[in-house]
Amino acid sequence: MSQVKVEEQIGGVIIHLRGQFIGGEETDALRDILKKYAEEKKNKLIIDFEKATYLNSTALGVLIAAHSNFAKRGGEIILCNLDKSLENIFIITKLITVFNVADDLQSAIKML
C-alpha cells in the first residue's frame, strides 16, 4: 500500500512517501499534494523517500513537473533518503543533476 504523508514545518513542507508510485491513485495523490503547495506559493519542499520502494516514469514526470513549477517561482524541492535502487533511477535518467539530493532528512532540512 502506498501513501503520502504531509508534515508542515516552519520554513517548509515535508512530504513522506511510502510504497510504490507506479502511476495509479498513489501518484495522483502525490501530484495533487504538490499542486496544492505550488498554488499556495510554498517555496521550500522536502520529499522524503525513506519508505518509498519504487517510482515509475509517471511518478518521475510528476516530480519533474513539480520541480519546474517550484523553480520558476524561485522555490526549491529537495529529495532525501533515496535508497540505492531509487538513486540509480535518478542517476540513469540524469535527474540527479536536476534535483537537490540530501542523504537524510536532517541534512535536507539544513539545506533549506
pTM of the predicted protein model: 0.95
Question: What is the pLDDT at residue 10?
Answer: 73
Question: What is the pLDDT at residue 1?
Answer: 62
Question: Considering the chain, what is the average pLDDT of its residues?
Answer: 95
Q: What share of the chain has pLDDT > 70, as a percent?
A: 98
One DSSP character per residue, 41-81 reads T--EEEEEEEEEEEE-HHHHHHHHHHHHHHHHTT-EEEEE-
Q: Which domain holds residue 45?
A: 3-111
CATH number where 72 lies: 3.30.750.24
Let me know: does 42 contact 18? Beta carbons within 8 Å. no
In which band, very low, low, confident or very high, does the pLDDT at 9 lie, cut at 50, 70 and 90? confident
In which band, very low, low, confident or very high, does the pLDDT at 11 lie, cut at 50, 70 and 90? confident
The whole-angstrom separation of Cα 50 and Cα 53 is 8
Per the structure, the count of domains in the chain is 1
Tallying the residues shown for the chain, one arrives at 112
